[in-house]
Chains A and B, each alone.
Chain A
Amino acid sequence: MRIVMIGHGMVGQRFLETLAARAGDMVHVTVIAEEARPAYDRVQLSAFFNGKTAEDLSVTPHDFFDATGYQLKLNTRATGIDLAAKTVSTATGEVVPFDKLVLATGSYPFVPPVPGNDREGCLVYRTIEDLEAIRDAAAKSKVGVVVGGGLLGLEAAKALKDLGLQTHVVEFAPRLMAVQIDDGGGRLLRRKIEALGVGVHTERNTKEIVDGETCRHAMNFADGKVLETDMILFSAGIRPRDELAKSSGLMVGPRGGIAIDNVCRTSHEDVYAIGECALWDNKIYGLVAPGYSMADVACNHLLNGHHKEFLGADMSTKLKLMGVDVASIGDAHGSTPGSLTYVYVDDRAEIYKKLVVSSDGKKVLGAVLVGDVESYGDLLQLKLNDMELPDKPEVLILPAMEGSPRKAFGPDALPMSAVICSCNNVTKGDICSAIDGGVKDLPGLKASTKLATSCGGCSALAGSVLKCELEKRGVEVKKDLCEHFAFSRQELFHLIKVEGIRSFDELVSKHGKGLGCDICKPTAGSIFASLWNEHILKKPLAGLQDTNDYFLANMQKDGTYSIVPRIPGGEITPDGLITIGAIAKKYNLYTKITGGQRIDLFGARMEQLPVIWKELVDAGFESGHAYGKSVRTVKSCVGSTWCRYGVGDSVGYAIDIENRYRGLRSPHKLKFAVSGCTRECAEAQSKDVGIIATEKGWNLYVCGNGGMKPRHAELLASDLDRETLIKYVDRFLMFYIRTADRLQRTSVWRDNMEGGLEYLKAVIIDDSLGIGEELEKQMQYLVDTFECEWKAAINDPETLKRFKPFVNSDETDSNVVFVDERGQIRPATGAEKKGRIAVAEV
């Protein structure tokens, strides 16, 4: 059988994979694809701006076409279908015969017919090429406008904002996300989007786009208002690509879309249509999950498989924008006759929840959630599985009363037919059979079932189903730290705390085996420090420290060390600068300003560390803990004291915060920043803890990361006063220290957290585990027992002994050699050492 498919998008590729699995090479397949690359993940398209490459986004296994023998013609547009001759012709002049034809042509972004819509910098958001064009245009722009305030429009606005543009959203309807949410939710959503720094303009009808005065374009609206912008993204809905179908005589809907029946067949019995180009029951589905179902149904029918039908799909959605939580389920507007509605509004906390139930109050029909989407998973499952509601359905959206369990039901209550991942149609039953087939973790499940590999919205629920099912089977989830301890870091922390263990010997003899290693020793050392805060160089503890911690300095490639005095908030007096300069000069150290707003002095020999530090300590400096897995810096911007835009004293606050948490030992390093206003010059949203001043107080962001895998921090709470903020940060940090794995930054810890941000908020803000006070107390203990490690070290003769390079000689390491570069020292290379060229005097 010759099968021809037109279009190679996400749904097309899903069809091919299903086909390959069921028919292998028994069929002869040709794919005609207009884009330049095989199918990629359009759902995650925005990740392109976060550094994902076209390859990262691909959803086509690289050897798929080789392995199947199917033929893929890229850069080839189909231009005609001859239904009588059963051929497809292409723009390259080919004529390809078929026995069965599958149309998977997707859709295109609708651009309103406004004069000027084709001006330079007027773009759409659909393909990788579109995003490249947007990135280039943004580089030349200050202001950007998105036309369309739907799901996609908001995603595009976030992207423009992240590209550094002053961003606006223009919407024709009176509210954002008009299809999915109601007025009440829309009002709140608007507030939240505006708080992100995006201008929102509803009820605006663009009349024309002309030359601007301050920007490249001016958008003139029907009501006489004008908005100036350098670039415009149209995101005003999609239109099915049905032009080929129409011209060949296939039936299309009055407003477009290739009409299909329940088996995805068009008006011609040998032609199928699937995905966003298909019209079923007068509906176009602009989501990938229904497309996947269609691919499955069509493939099944085409191969004469057992009877399967497409009977519509769930359109529930959760917005995947950071900082703005919005979800909509089923009949969000309560338009089902006789339906009953519950609404919960908390203006203070910016939460809006609406629940629509059947007239007898027994079934969920729909819901709108803004600001708190914790119950999305539960409500969706209740709706999809047609499960019976509790007596008082309102508890599903009301905040939990103190003491009462929050969850309406656990993963155990779900029926086997419950769809856990709607993108990939994976049910709880599928998960269970994968587990019975030997799968033990989430990565394994992803590989074998595709679960959580598309929008990712299901991963938290999937994780809890997995855990619950593994536990039911008595499977132990292995998280051993190393060969010496059959415990995770979190378990060790607990044991050490509960049993009051203070030495490694005691820990190994009670709970481990062997001598330990360079993994478990520093881990234990760090836990002891987080719990008991004794000096890390005290005798039995000293042997646990990694060399950086052991010498209270960072070892460099040649065995010398760097010295980083603490400069809280990056604020330093001229005298402080002079002192550091004088010391650097005296000991001939290389100096550099670090990325953490302080000064690093390089090239100190081991034996020099105590003398140099003595001078620094005498001059009032403290250890900067650059060597420890501990709190590093609290970066600040200049803030309201000097800056014309500042609304908060970011420097003063940064100093206070750095002084509070300095030296705190943790599973990995911790970085903070405080910005004085939303311009965010301190880059707080890339930190483990980020704080941004607002007109009303301080916004607290957590779990950001720069480094290898950057991650934006997420808003934990807004407009806090200083006291509440410190309380939340205390709880947050201690909770992280207690529960994270070894060398796990807060970002990765958060990504692995079941229940995600909502769970974290519940623990930190609502104190859902009832441990808030204990966490605060533990932190206060650490704050109260803080001492500068260097100050203590230079006053202890026993410790000082260790800084001698040789026990039996006063000589120094002759292999440490420096040469001059740009007026300072640097380590000599191997070749230079051999030739001893231009060696600097040290």
Chain B
Amino acid sequence: MSSTLVKVCKVHDIPVNLGVGALVKGEQVALFHLPTGEIYALGNFDPFSEANVLSRGLVGDLQGQKVVASPIYKHHFNLQTGECLEDAGVKIPAYAVVVQGDEVYLAV
């Protein structure tokens, strides 16, 4: 499957340490801005609560992995791979992020 780069928003639209939601080609995506300057993107859908809420979770690191904690049942997802730390079988989409100048692009 080929993916294309889609322009989503500006870097400063995503406050540091927080996430925002975005609608990219019909998919709900959650973007996160770490204090290190990195930006990550995961699917916004939390498979445990079946709600689009991950952009509203807290980011941080656990055992060396950068993660977001779902605000509903507090599962942690790896920001790079989308893997769930508590439930090894569960994985949500992780999107590649490209930052050019001030613009944030997603590979979808």
Contact = CB atoms under 8 A, between A and B. Distances in A.
Interface in B1-27: 8-9, 13-18, 20-24
B57 interface: yes
B60 A813 contact: no
Interface of A is mostly: loop
B60 A807 contact: no
A811 B23 contact: yes
A543 B52 contact: no
A536 to B, nearest CB: 13
Interface stretch (A115-123, A243-251, A511-519, A754-762): A511-519
A314 B79 CA distance: 64
Interface string B60-81: 1111001101011010100000
Contact of A543 (B13, B17, B21, B76): B17
Contact of B61 (A504, A517, A555): A517
Given A557-B72, A813-B52, A546 B58 contact: yes
B59 interface: yes
Contacts of A518: 57-58, 60, 69, 74, 76
Contact of B60 (A517, A555, A815, A830): A517
A518 to B, nearest CB: 4
B50 interface: yes
A557 B60 CA distance: 23
A728 interface: no
Contact of A555 (B17, B53, B67): B53
Contacts of A504: 17
Nearest to B62: A517
Contacts, number: 105
Interface string A490-512: 00000000000000110000000
B49 A807 contact: no
Given A515-B59, A543-B16, A551-B56, A808 B22 contact: yes
B71 A547 contact: yes
Contacts of A547: 53, 56-58, 71
Interface in A773-812: 802, 804-809, 811
B88 interface: no
Interface in A277-301: none
A522 interface: yes
B87 to A, nearest CB: 17
Nearest to B64: A514
A766 interface: no
Nearest to A827: B51
Contacts of A806: 20-23, 28
B93 interface: no
Interface string A79-110: 00000000000000000000000000000000
Contacts of A505: 35
Given A517-B61, A543-B15, A555-B53, A807 B72 contact: no
Interface string A511-548: 00011111011100000000000000001101110111
Contacts of B9: 807-808
B53 A559 contact: yes
A800 to B, nearest CB: 13
A542 B16 CA distance: 9
A543 B32 CA distance: 11
Contacts of B36: 515
A636 B13 CA distance: 45
Contacts of B16: 543
A162 interface: no
B69 A517 contact: yes
Contacts of A732: none
A550 interface: yes
Interface in A35-51: none
B60 A521 contact: yes
Contact of A830 (B8, B50, B52, B72): B50
Interface string B20-46: 111110001001001110000000010
B61 A514 contact: yes
A809 B29 CA distance: 12
A572 B24 CA distance: 46
B106 to A, nearest CB: 10
B31 A807 contact: yes
A410 B17 CA distance: 48
A78 to B, nearest CB: 55
Contacts of B24: 808
Contact of A815 (B52, B62, B71, B76): B52
Interface string A452-489: 00000000000000000000000000000001100000
A517 to B, nearest CB: 4
Contacts of B62: 483, 517
Nearest to A558: B51
A540 B17 CA distance: 8
B58 to A, nearest CB: 4
A828 to B, nearest CB: 11
Contacts of B49: 557, 559
B23 A515 contact: no
A377 to B, nearest CB: 41
Nearest to A539: B15
Contact of B66 (A515, A543, A544, A802): A515
Interface of B: 8-9, 13-18, 20-24, 28, 31, 34-36, 45, 49-53, 56-63, 66-67, 69, 71-72, 74, 76
11 contacts: A515-B35, A515-B36, A517-B60, A518-B60, A547-B57, A559-B51, A559-B53, A807-B9, A807-B31, A808-B23, A815-B52
Given A543-B15, A807-B31, 15 more contacts: A483-B63, A515-B35, A516-B60, A517-B58, A518-B60, A543-B18, A543-B59, A550-B18, A557-B72, A559-B52, A802-B15, A804-B21, A805-B21, A806-B28, A815-B45
